[in-house]
Structure 1
Amino acid sequence: MNKQIEALFTTALGLQAPWQVAKVELDTTRRRIDFEVKYTAKRSACPDCGLVDQGIHDHMPRSWRHLDFFQFEAWLHADVPRIRCKDCGKTTQMPVPWANEGSGFTLLFEALALSLVQELPVSQAARHMRVGSARLWRRLDHYVSIAREQDDMSSVRHIGIDETSVKKGHAYITVVHDLQAKRLLFATPGRDHHTLEAFAQDLHAHGGDTRNVKHACIDMSAAFAKGIAQSLPQAQISYDRFHVVALANTAMDDVRREEMRTSADSVREAVGLQDTKNVRQLFWGMCKDPSDWTKGQINAMHWLQRSTLKSARAWRLKQALREVYSQAVNANSENLAKSLLIKWISWARRSRLEPFKRLGATLKRHFDGVIRGMLDGRSNAYVEAMNGLLQQARTAARGFRNVGNFISIAYLRMSRLKHLPSNPLLPALPRLVGQTHFCR
C-alpha cells in the first residue's frame, strides 16, 4: 500500500514509532476495515523488570476491535513481541499502547462504550457497538473497579442510608450516599447491620475515617440503627420527614381499609357518595396535598372533615403531623419542635386508632432522631430522589445475572467517579479562515 496512506492511518490511530501501520485491507462487502500493525524495532526493554536492550523471543498474534472508520467496522491486528530478559530470566509479552492487557477492545473503543452505557441500557449500547453485552459488562466492571480504587472518601462527614429493591421479591441492596457531595459512596447486597460494617471497611479503604462521620440520616430501620451504633460510633442518627410522613400515610391507609371493610355503607352515607368507587377516589385524595385536590375531592373532604368517621380522624392526625414539621422548620426552634411533637404523640396515642397509636409509640422511641430530622437540613430527600436513578440503573442493567453488575452501573452513573476515560468523540476544531485542504 501507498506509504503515504500507511503513514496517514498510523497518525489517525495515534501510533508512535516503533509501531506503525504496515497494511490496510478494506472489505466493503463485509463492511469491515482491517489494520495490520507492525513493531519495527529489533530489541526492547523488558516489560517486567525494565532492563533495556533485550532481545525479542517470538511474536504472538492478537486482534482488537477499534472505533469504526467511516461506516466500516475496524479491527487492529498485530504480532505482539515477547521479550526474553537476560536479567530476570522471564519471557514477557510486550504491552501495546492502544489497549489494556487481556482486552479485546482498544482503549478508545472502551472509552466510547463507557460513555454510552452512562445513558443507555447496556444491552442497547452493545447492539449499537455490535458487540456482545457480556463482554461489555466485563469491561464496565473493570473500569469501575479501577476508578473506585482511586476514589477519595476522606471528606465524608454526613451520609444518608437507604435500601432499594434489585429484583421482584425480597432482593435488596443497601446504598450509602454522601449528603454533602451528593453522590453514591457505597452499595452492597442485603439490608441488615452487616451492610454498614462493610461500608465502614470500604470507607477506610478509600481514605475515610468512621470517627469523622458525624451524621447519618436513615429510615426507622432497627438494623441500620444497630449498624451505625457498631460501625459509626460518632454519627448522630436523624429520621427525615419523608419517612415519618410516609409512616403516617401508611397508618391512615390502614384505618381507611379497615373502615371500608367493616362499614362501607356508613362511609358513603357520611360523605354523601353513592358507590364504593367514588369513596375509593375520595380516599386517594386524602393522600394528596390539598392543593392538588379536584373539585369533587374538595367537596367530599368538606363533608369528611365534619364527620365522625375514623378515616376523618386519621386524616386530621396525618395533616397535623405535617403541620408539626412545617411549624418546627419555620421557627427553627428545638424547644418548639419537641413541644409540638410531644402533643402530637399524646393525641395519636389517645386517638383509639391502633395504627396511629403504634406510630405514636414508634416516634416516642425515636424521639431525638425525629427532632434532629425536623431541624437538620441534611435530610434523605436527596437519597430518595436518587432511588429513582437507581431504578433507572436497574432498567439499564436489565438482563444482569448478578447483583454486582447492577451495583457497577449504579457506581458508574451516580458516584461521580473521576478516574474514568473520557468520551473520545470530541467535536472537531473549526477550520482556520482561508485554510484549505486537498485530498489526492
Structure 2
Amino acid sequence: MHAKLFEAALGITDPWRVGGVDFDAAKKVLTITVDFVAGSRFAVPGVAGAHPVHDTVSKRYRHLNFFQHECYLEVRVPRVRLPDGGTRQVEPDWAGKLAGFTLLFEALVMALCREMPFAAVARVVNLSWHRVSAICKRYVDLALDQADFSEVKRLAADETSRARGHDYITLVADADARRVLFVTEGRDAATIEAFAEDLKAHGGDPLAIESISIDMSPAFIKGVTAHLPNATITFDKFHVIAHASTAVDKMRRIEQRTDPALKGLRWKLLKDRDGLKPDARAELDAFVAQVATKRTARAWLYKEQLREILDRKQVNVVRAMLWQWTVNVMRSKVEPMKAVAKMIRKHLEGIVAWTRSRQTNGFLEAINGLFQAAKRKARGYASFSTIRAVVFLLAGKLDFGKLNQHAA
C-alpha cells in the first residue's frame, strides 16, 4: 500500500514503480527505490519506436524533502538497445537538468535563488554552494540558448560595478519588454560588438535596431555607431540632469570654502524641490533668492531650467532652448556648470532625441540597483559567471517553463 502512496505523491507512472522505501530516523533521510516493470520498452529522442532494455545503471536523485527529512530516489535506470546496434541511456521523466536531482528539486532551488543568495539557499536545501550555483547557471544557459531576440527593436545599455574600484560589467536590455538580453565584462566599444554578435545568434538583426538609450560614454557611442549603425542614440533626460546635479554640488563645495552658510544645504540642493518637506523647501527658496550673490544658487537655477527644457516635446524648440542655455552658462561664472554646457553641445542631437523617443535607462538603473542589493546580501561575487547568472535570474525574464514545467 505504501508503494502506491509514494507513486502517487511522486507522480511516478507506468512503466515506473516504487520498489521499496527506507527511512533512516537517525540521519533523517528517506530513500525511495524506483524500478521499472520487467519487459518494458522505452523511447529515446531522435530514434523512432520503443526499444528493449540492454542493461541498467543505478542513479541517485535528490528530491524535495518529506517534511524535515531529506528525500532521495534510488533509480534503476535502463540503457536501451537501438536498431543500429548502439545503446542509449533513458532519462526518467522526473530527472533534472543537472545530474543527481529531480525536476521538482531544481524548481525549488530556482525559486529560492531568485529571492536569496546562493549561500543561504545552500543552507536551506543542505547542498554545497557550488551545487546550487551549478543548477542556476545550467538553467540560465539552457534558457538563453532557446531565447528569441528576433522582435527586439529598441535597446538600453548601461554599466554597473561588479566589485570595488573600476571593475565593471555592461548590461544590454530590451527597452520594450524591459528584460536583460546580454551581460558581459567591461564597458568599452567591444561590449557592444559582442552584443551584436549575440543578438544575431538569437535570431535578431543588428541592422533592425531602431534606437538605443545609453550614457555619454565615448566607448558606447563608438560601439553603437560601428555595430548598430541604424540605431538612433538617445541620451535620456535623467543622465543629463544627473550631470547638472553633480555640477551644482561641485559649485557648493567650492563656494563653501569661503561661505560656511552653505553647510547643510547639500541634499536640499540635489533633491527634487517638490519632494522636500515644507520647512526644507522654504530654506531652499530663501537661499535661491540670493541668486545675485551666490553662484551655487545660480547653478541650482541652471539645473532647474535644464529640467524644464527637457520636459518639453517640440524638437526644434528644445534644440534652440538647449543651445541658448549653453550660451548663458558659458557667459556665467559658474565654472562647474560650463562642463555640462560643453557636454550638451557635443551631444546635442542625442539629447534632443529624448524629446522624440522619451526612451530612458531608468528601468535598467533599477535593475542595476537590484543587482547591487543582491551583491551586498551575498557579500560580493567571486566570478563573472555567477554575476551573469544572478542578473538573468533577477531581470532576464527567461522562460524556464520550457525546460521544467515546475519552474515556470
Give the TM-score, by structure 1 length: 0.85
User: Paired residue for 2:398?
Assistant: 417
Confirm or deny that 1:20 pairs with 2:10: no
Equivalent residue runs for 1:209-358 within 5 Å: 209-261=205-257, 263=258, 267-268=259-260, 273=261, 279-291=262-274, 292=276, 295=279, 298-299=282-283, 301-306=285-290, 307-326=292-311, 328=312, 332-358=313-339
Displacement after TM superposition at 1:76 (Å): 0.4
State the AA in 2 paired with 1:35. I
SS state at 1:284 partner: helix
The CA deviation at 1:203 is 1.0
- Which of 389, 397, 402 is the aligned partner of 2:383? 402
Residue 67 (str. 1) matches residue 50 (str. 2): no
Distance 1:109 1:358 in 2: 56
8 Å Cα contact 1:66/1:105 also seen in 2: yes
Q: Is the 8 A contact 1:46 1:84 kept in 2?
A: no
Instruction: Provide the C-alpha distance between the structure 1 equivalents of 2:46 and 2:172, rounded to a whole number of angstroms.
Output: 42
C-alpha distance in 1, partners of 2:265/2:145? Answer: 53
Change (3 A) 1:299 1:96: closer
How many angstroms does 1:305 deviate by? 3.2
Q: Give the CA deviation at 1:423.
A: 7.6
1:121 matched to 2:105? The reply is: no
Kindly provide the amino acid, as one letter, of the partner of residue 305 in structure 2: A
Whether the aligned pair in 2 keeps the contact of 1:67 and 1:109 (CA below 8 Å) is yes
User: How far apart are the structure 2 equivalents of 1:35 and 1:192?
Assistant: 54
CA distance in 2, matches of 1:231, 1:303: 48
8 Å CA contact retained: 1:210, 1:231: yes
Structure-2 change in CA distance of 1:302 and 1:92 (3 Å): same
Name the counterpart of 1:378. 359
Counterparts of 1:81-160 in structure 2 under 5 Å? Answer: 81-85=78-82, 87-100=83-96, 103-160=99-156
> Residue 284 and residue 54 in structure 1: after superposition, are their counterparts in 2 closer, same or farther (change >3 A)?
closer
For residues 378 and 242 of structure 2, what CA distance do their matches in structure 1 show? 29
Counterpart for residue 3 of structure 2: 6
Instruction: Check whether the contact 2:42–2:53 (CA below 8 A) recurs between aligned residues.
Output: no
In structure 1, the residue corresponding to 2:254 is in which secondary structure? Answer: helix
Q: 1:158 offset after TM fit, Å? A: 1.0
Match for 2:141: what amino acid? S
Q: Tell me how far apart the structure 2 counterparts of residues 171 and 401 of structure 1 sit (CA, whole Å).
A: 12
CA contact (8 A) 1:20 1:38 kept: yes
Looking at structure 2, the residues matched to 385 and 49 of structure 1 have their Cα atoms a distance apart, in angstroms, of 44
CA contact (8 A) 1:393 1:410 kept: no
Contact kept in structure 2, 1:174 and 1:195, CA below 8 Å: yes
CA distance in 2, matches of 1:293, 1:12: 58
Residues 153, 296 of structure 1: alpha-carbon distance in 2 compared, 3 angstrom cutoff: closer
Instruction: Return the alpha-carbon distance in structure 2 between the equivalents of residues 299 and 51 of structure 1.
Output: 80
Aligned-residue sequence identity (percent) comes to 36
1: CA distance between counterparts of 2:112 and 2:23? Answer: 27
Partner of 2:34: 37
Where in structure 1 are there 5+ consecutive unaligned residues?
274-278, 427-440
Letter in 1 for 2:308: E
In 2 relative to 1, CA 320–49 (structure 1 residues): closer, same or farther, beyond 3 Å? closer
- Provide TM-score, normalisation by structure 2: 0.92
Q: Is 1:162 paired with 2:145?
A: no
Q: For the residues of structure 2 that align with 1:101 and 1:383, how far apart are their CA atoms? A: 30
Residue 19 of structure 2 contacts residue 35 of structure 2 at CA under 8 Å; is this kept in 1?
yes
**Inter-partner Cα distance in structure 2 for 1:425 and 1:166:** 28
1:193 aligns with 2:189: yes
Following TM superposition, by how much is the alpha carbon of 1:177 offset from its aligned partner in structure 2, in angstroms? 1.4
- Deviation, structure 1 residue 297: 6.0
Consecutive unaligned residues of structure 2, counting only runs of 5 or more, are: none
Q: Give the aligned CA root-mean-square deviation in angstroms.
A: 2.4
The alignment partner of 2:195 has SS state of helix
Conserved? CA contact 2:163–2:380, under 8 Å: no
Please list the CA deviations of residues 207-254 of structure 1 after superposition, one character each: whole Å capped at 9, or x if unmatched. 111111111111111111111001101100011011000101111222
Contact 2:97–2:139 (CA under 8 A) maintained in structure 1: no
Q: 1:385 to 1:55 in 2, by over 3 A?
A: closer
Letter in 2 for 1:242: F
Shift of 1:396: 5.7
What SS does the corresponding residue of 1:281 show, helix, strand or coil? coil
User: In the alignment, residue 303 of structure 2 is paired with which amino acid?
Assistant: K
* Deviates further, 290-299 or 188-197: 290-299
- 1:438 maps to none
Inter-partner Cα distance in structure 2 for 1:301 and 1:363 = 27
Higher deviation after alignment, 203-212 or 33-42: 33-42
Q: Report the alpha carbon displacement of residue 151 of structure 1 after superposing the two structures with TM.
A: 1.1
